[in-house]
């Protein structure tokens, strides 16, 4: 049995955007008020996110069980709905436009590792959801992706490349299956 030398995995360049104390307090607040399924009060969640540096518009609804890694890396536009157990793993900036819908258990996943390097370097890139985007239940958006205006990512689909405006995407990897027509 071999042991792994973890000293070669050096990602000291990564800045979490806040000190240990602030991150620790946020970890507890997140667990008590956002992740906790017994707290249905969206207004309290919005106020706490703003207090920790998130830019959150008016009329935003945050359902129970939502997990947000770093609120200081989050912007959410007006009248956006964030569904049950959505996970925003925002090691980098996540910008969510107005009138978006993030359905149950959708995941925005910013970080990955470079498996081609022996140092397994951390790779992060921002995610942008423009106005009117709909992420279906259990869909995944990876780092570096922009979901253009009013695009749709279907249930259980994975967007690892940017989505065109008004496109409906499905699968893993997600491919465009039709055009979204809004009446």
CA distances from 122 to 10, 89, 111 (A): 9, 14, 7
pLDDT on residue 117 = 84
Domain extents in the chain: 18-179
18 phi and psi, to 5 degrees? -155, 155
Distant-in-sequence, close-in-space partners of 47: CB < 8 Å, separation ≥ 6: none
Q: Which two tokens stand for residue 104?
A: 């149950």
pLDDT on residue 121 = 83
* Distance in Å from the first CA to the final CA of the chain: 62
Task: Confirm if 57 and 25 have CB atoms less than 8 A apart.
Answer: no
Which architecture does CATH list for 18-179? 3 Solenoid (2.160)
Task: Confirm if 134 and 120 have CB atoms less than 8 A apart.
Answer: no
Which three-class secondary structure state does DSSP give residue 50? helix
pLDDT on residue 16 = 81
Per-residue pLDDT of the chain (183 residues; tens, 9 = 90+): 445 555 555 566 677 888 899 999 999 999 999 999 998 899 999 999 999 999 999 999 999 999 999 999 999 999 999 999 999 999 999 999 999 999 999 999 998 888 888 888 888 999 999 999 999 999 999 999 999 999 999 999 999 999 999 999 999 999 999 999 988
90-105 burial: b if 16+ Cβ within 10 Å, else e: bbbbbbbbbbbbbbbb
pTM score of the predicted model: 0.91
């Amino acid at each position: 049995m071999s042991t792994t030398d973890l000293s070669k995995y050096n990602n000291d360049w990564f800045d979490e955007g806040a000190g240990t104390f602030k991150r620790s307090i946020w970890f507890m607040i997140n667990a008590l008020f956002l992740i906790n399924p017994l707290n249905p009060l969206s207004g309290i969640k919005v106020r706490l996110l703003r207090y920790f540096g998130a830019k959150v518009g008016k009329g935003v609804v945050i359902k129970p069980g939502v997990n947000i890694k770093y609120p200081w890396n989050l912007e959410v536009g007006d009248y956006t709905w964030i569904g049950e157990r959505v996970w925003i793993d925002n090691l980098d900036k996540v910008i969510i436009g107005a009138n978006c819908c993030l359905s149950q258990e959708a995941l925005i996943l910013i970080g990955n590792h470079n498996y081609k390097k022996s140092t397994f370097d951390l790779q992060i890139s921002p995610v942008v959801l423009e106005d009117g985007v709909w992420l279906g239940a259990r869909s995944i958006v990876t780092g570096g992706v922009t979901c253009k205006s009013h695009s749709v990512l279907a249930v259980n689909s994975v967007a690892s490349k940017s989505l065109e405006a008004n496109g409906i995407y499905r699968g893993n990897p997600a491919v465009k299956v039709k055009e979204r027509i809004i009446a």
